[in-house]
Amino acid sequence: MVIKESFDLIAEYLLHIFKATFMLGTYSDRWHIWDMIVLQKPGKPRYDVPKVHHPIALMNMISKLLSTIVAEDIVHMCEKHSLLPDNHFRGHPG
């Protein structure tokens, strides 16, 4: 939500960061960090009993945004250059 609401303000900065990522061939170590949180399942009172929690992995949003942009670019290039066969539906937009 934060990225969506502030995109007009940060888009140019993200563009420079992402371009530098590819030009320099580097990827920030901080973008590799995932957070794992544990949610208690409804109606389960304790965490020390097996199967009463639900682990959730949260990916760094900057790396997720970059991955989405790259994936969309790959799909666009595949469509533009007809690299996917007509009977291949996965990866086609829509």
The C-alpha angle 73, 76, 78, rounded to 5 degrees, equals 110
Question: What DSSP assignment string belongs to 37-87?
Answer: EEEEPTT---SSSTT-EEEEEEE-HHHHHHHHHHHHHHHHHHHHTT-S-TT
Q: Which amino acid is at 12?
A: E
Give dist(CA 84, CA 61) in Å, integer. 29
Res 12: pLDDT: 94
Residue 35 CB neighbour total at 10 angstroms? 9
Per-residue pLDDT of the chain (94 residues; tens, 9 = 90+): 888 899 899 999 999 999 999 999 988 888 888 888 888 888 777 767 777 888 888 878 888 889 888 988 888 888 888 887 777 666 555 5
Res 9: pLDDT: 94
pTM for the full predicted model: 0.63
Q: Where are the domains of the chain?
A: 2-80
Res 92: pLDDT: 56
